Amino acid sequence: AKNKGRNGFCFFMPSMQEASQNRMLMLTHLHLAIQRQEFVVFYQPIIDLQSGAIYKAEALIRWQHPSQGLVSPADFIPIAEEHGLIHEIGQWVFHQVVDQFKDWQAQYQTHLQISVNVSPLQFQGLDNFVEEWLLYLQTAGIAPDNIIIEITEGVLLEANTKAMEKLFAFADNDMQIAIDDFGTGYSSLSYLTKFDIHFLKIDKSFVNNLTPESNDLTLIKAIIILAHQLGLKVIAEGVETELQRDLLQQMGCDFAQGYLYSKPLSAAEFTHFL
Ligand code: C2E
Ligand code: CA
Ligand code: CA
Ligand code: CA
């Protein structure tokens, strides 16, 4: 039993009793999905709030299950992480993005930056995926600063030596780093000056309830001032209304992403923006 939910995604977990059974089932299906290449990468435009231009996009994985329909990454990424499949999936996403980028660059000579979500577990693994990624970029002839790596605050706070090495390797090689879901996880801010970070992404939970009188407005305003003082740019996610956009623009937010502009699009659909 599954229902079509938000965004037309299917939910594998209709009830508590079925949940663990469904997780087992999904794990089996995930192994097959990797073999059968059932994943696809979508691209959500990121708008420059000052100029209105679009030259950034976030890559978001989707799973096109042959019989179950489109499965949300929020449902299968945690299971992939739990069972060690995230490394393979993460690598597949990155290769896919680079291949796509190469095509777009050849066809449109466009000035584009694509951001890729990287799981904290990929930083904890023993394999040196950063070297492999850099080599993949080099072989494709794409400059590393065309790629933004999206990580959550936890990666920086719980960073062990191996994770630190990986982060510094990204930064030393000119890949850009964005802190995803900023403000939702931790209270420490000291990491902001220890690492070479380019973007803060304001979580959509803050943008959701944004009105002229809301506490979230004060919070977002403070985040923007902090970021700019540190030389970072701010991306607001989950922008759905013109009011939210106007308020963000007034506060000097640099970039916005959300259904107001566009939902995540297939690569073919995204080319309309190029
Ligand atoms: P995220 O990185 O925070 O991505 C933003 C999510 O917000 C996306 O959900 C996007 O479709 C959704 N979104 C965008 N605009 C709006 C809006 O205006 N309103 C609302 N309500 N939602 C909006 P999605 O694509 O379902 O992805 C969910 C999460 O799955 C992502 O959250 C990310 O944590 C994870 N994910 C997606 N792709 C990957 C991937 O390639 N690798 C890894 N490790 N995680 C991924
Ligand atoms: Ca993200
Ligand atoms: Ca986010
Ligand atoms: Ca998130």
Mutational test site, ligand 1, from 117, 129, 150, 203, max ligand atoms within 8 Å of CB:
117
Q: Given this model, what pLDDT does residue 128 score?
A: 83
Q: Whose CA is nearest to atom 3 of ligand 1?
A: 181
Q: Residues 159-167: contacts with CB within 8 Å, 24+ apart?
A: 159/123, 160/124, 162/123, 162/124, 162/126, 163/123, 163/124, 166/123, 166/128, 166/129, 166/130, 167/123, 167/195
State the distance from the centre of ligand 4 to the C-alpha of 148, rounded, in angstroms.
16
Q: Is 60 in the pocket of ligand 1 (CB under 6 A)?
A: yes
Structure confidence at residue 15 as a pLDDT band (50, 70, 90): low
> What is the tens place of the pLDDT at every residue in 195-250?
899 999 999 999 998 999 999 999 999 999 999 999 999 999 999 999 999 999 99
Structure confidence at residue 122 as a pLDDT band (50, 70, 90): very high
Q: Is 45 in the pocket of ligand 1 (CB under 6 A)?
A: no
Q: Whose CA is nearest to atom 4 of ligand 1?
A: 60
Q: Rounded to an integer, what distance in angstroms lies between the CA atom of residue 101 and that of residue 124?
A: 27
ipTM beyond 0.90? yes
Stated pTM of the model: 0.93
> What is the tens place of the pLDDT at every residue in 133-188?
999 999 999 999 999 999 998 888 777 888 888 989 999 999 999 999 998 876 67
Q: Is 117 in the pocket of ligand 1 (CB under 6 A)?
A: yes
